[in-house]
Amino acid sequence: MSAPAALDPVAACAEEVRRHDNDRYLTALFAPAEDRARLFALYAFNLQIARVRESVSEPILGAVRLRFWRDAVTDLYTGKPPRHPATLTLAATGAAARLERARLEALTDARDADLKDEPPADLAALVAYAEATGGALAALALDLLGVDGEASRAAACDVGTAFALVGLVRAVPFHAATRRLYLPADRLAAAGVDREALFAGKSGNKLGSVVGEVAHAAWRRLDRAAQAHRDVPRAALPALLPAVLARRDLIRLERAGFDPFAATSAVSPLRRQLALLLFAAVGRY
């Protein structure tokens, strides 16, 4: 369950995040060098727990793998981090000292939901999952940046939750191919969405209303976070800049009629980075 050995754990973390979580990689580049390494380690850790379900053939095997990462958190805080680039870097950069153990454990525990075959019962359950994963991750990033304050924490939670919701919508085709769904079950039923057709990659015009509700929930979080920008210090930007990318993806999704199967054309990393540069230059997110 450990990654291949690397001469430089920090570089290994950065490369893994660049390849598999490029949006957060781009936003981390706006952090000071010492904080950047910590963010790469946190995001690499998050990748490990977020990809558990897709890396196993049975949920029970996923539970075993999550148990490994729970133990890894314990070992990290007892001075014996496992030889994985993420945990080694968290220890070597002093990141663990900035992160509350309970928060890191809660982030890991939230991934238990990925081992269930049924989608969230309703929109509230989906938003709660997004907050426990993406929202919590953004709050941990804020800790690594040394930023505190009620406004900053609320904004990070909102941005992280919205970013997670957008990510789940973007991943509908990927999840459907493996017969998994993260859209609200009650909304799917009310809209008359045929799950088997969805799993076969046939979205139909009924899916748009469900995806649209999730998108609007993300917009509300992003709008609320943006309203607090005057009370948020610039130091928090690397944790909040994902809002810029989430908005762009929501606009593309809306143009596609809220059909995630139709909104599959990727925006180049260069264009995404330019958008981040523009917002970071004026201290906005």
pLDDT digits (tens, 9 = 90+) for 72-88: 999 999 999 999 999 99
| pLDDT tens for each residue of 15-33 | 999 999 999 999 999 999 9
Report the share of the chain in percent with pLDDT over 70.
96
- How confident is the model over 142-174, as pLDDT tens digits? 999 999 999 999 999 999 999 999 999 999 999
pLDDT of residue 265: 66
Residue 1 pLDDT exceeds 80: no
Higher pLDDT, 13 or 205: 13
Residues 211-223: pLDDT tens digits?
Answer: 999 999 999 999 9
* pLDDT (tens digit per residue) in 259-272: 999 987 667 888 89
| Distances 63 to 42, 57, 128, 245, 280 between C-alpha atoms, Å | 21, 11, 21, 32, 39
Q: What is the pLDDT of residue 6?
A: 46
Mean pLDDT for the chain?
94
Tell me what pLDDT residue 7 has.
64
pLDDT at 204 (0 to 100)? 78
Per-residue pLDDT averaged across 246-250, rounded?
96
For the ranges 1-5, 116-120, 162-166, the maximum mean pLDDT occurs at 162-166
In the chain, domain spans: 1-116, 117-285
Helix H, strand E, coil C: the string for the chain is: CCCCCCCCHHHHHHHHHHHHCHHHHHHHCCCCHHHHHHHHHHHHHHHHHHCCHHHCCCHHHHHHHHHHHHHHHHHHHCCCCCCCHHHHHHHHCCHHHHCCHHHHHHHHHHHHHHHCCCCCCCHHHHHHHHHHHHHHHHHHHHHHCCCCCHHHHHHHHHHHHHHHHHHHHHCHHHHHHCCCCCCCHHHHHHHCCCHHHHHCCCCCCCHHHHHHHHHHHHHHHHHHHHHCHHHCCHHHHHHHCHHHHHHHHHHHHHHCCCCCCCCCCCCCHHHHHHHHHHHHHCCCC
Reported as a pLDDT band with limits 50, 70 and 90, residue 112 is very high
| For residue 129, pLDDT beyond 50 | yes
User: Is domain 117-285 in CATH 1.10.600.10, yes or no?
Assistant: yes
User: 277, 242, 18, 283: which is closest to 139 by C-alpha?
Assistant: 242
What is the pLDDT at residue 269?
81
Q: What is the pLDDT of residue 172?
A: 95
CA 194 to chain centre: 28
